[in-house]
Amino acid sequence: MSEILANAANQVTGSNALASILGAETAALVASKYGDEKAFAGVSSGSFLPRVQLCGSNSTLCKKNKIGQGRFCVTNAKDTILHDLSESFACLVISWRPKAMRFAGSDTVAYYNPKSPFFNEVRAEADAKKQGSSYGPEYLVYLPEQKIFATFYFMNPTMRREAPNMQGQVGKVAQVSSVFIEKEKFSWHGPAVTACNTPVSFPTGDELPAFQSELAAQRDRFNTPPEEEVEEVEAPGEAARER
């Protein structure tokens, strides 16, 4: 029997192999007892939410021509785009926390307690413009158009200067736009945050209770991080760190 199935599979393309072997109607009914989209999201996303990133010229995504300069995206890896947010996007700003990071590949560590010596050591390194060190407020956001939760880390001087405007939108819907900043010697992109004046849609009706439950769970988890944890994210390029 296994030999027959193997021969059958060899004679069809990958896109229709299961339907060819089992028949279209039978193949269409394949479903796990506990398998649904919500369950898949829970077991496939790992322990970290995806993050919003403003892509500068030195980002891996721009270098690989996966996205244009000055555009926002949602990513969970240095060379993967989950959503291209273009040059402006709306988000519900749910909460914030302090964060400092020392980038070192798989040994990258994030610190959340601003009173810890490690946090302040990384902060001092960042202020001294040591490559691979950063700090700033990190926000938990919900993107209504993409229907996902994500983090947004204001990690460099340009972003920290804009952070008070983001802080003013906590609990509200913000509009985040990319702006081009040009100085005498250097130029780069940064975010500009304003109140969102365009109506956005959130789950309603039968979908509302599940959304409320997930939002509360994501908020509580975000607000109670360990003092430090290992992350594996892309180190900021020169443009991302900003002179």
Q: Read out DSSP for 90-117? A: EEEEEEEEEEEEE--GGG-EEE--TTSH
Domain boundaries of the chain, sorted by first residue: 37-241
99, two tokens: 């964060």
Each of the 243 residues of the chain gets a pLDDT tens digit; together they read 444 444 444 444 455 565 666 666 554 555 666 666 665 555 555 568 999 999 876 677 767 666 767 899 999 876 788 898 999 999 999 999 999 999 877 678 999 999 999 999 999 999 999 989 999 999 999 999 999 999 999 999 999 999 999 999 999 999 999 998 888 777 889 999 999 999 999 999 999 999 999 999 999 999 999 898 887 555 555 434 454
d(CA 76, CA 48) in angstroms, rounded, equals: 8
Element housing 82 (H / E): none
d(CA 198, CA 149) in angstroms, rounded, equals: 20
Tokens 């990384």, residue located:
122
Residues 120, 227 contacting (CB under 8 angstroms) = no
55, two tokens: 């892509």
How far the first Cα of the chain sits from its last, in Å, is 66
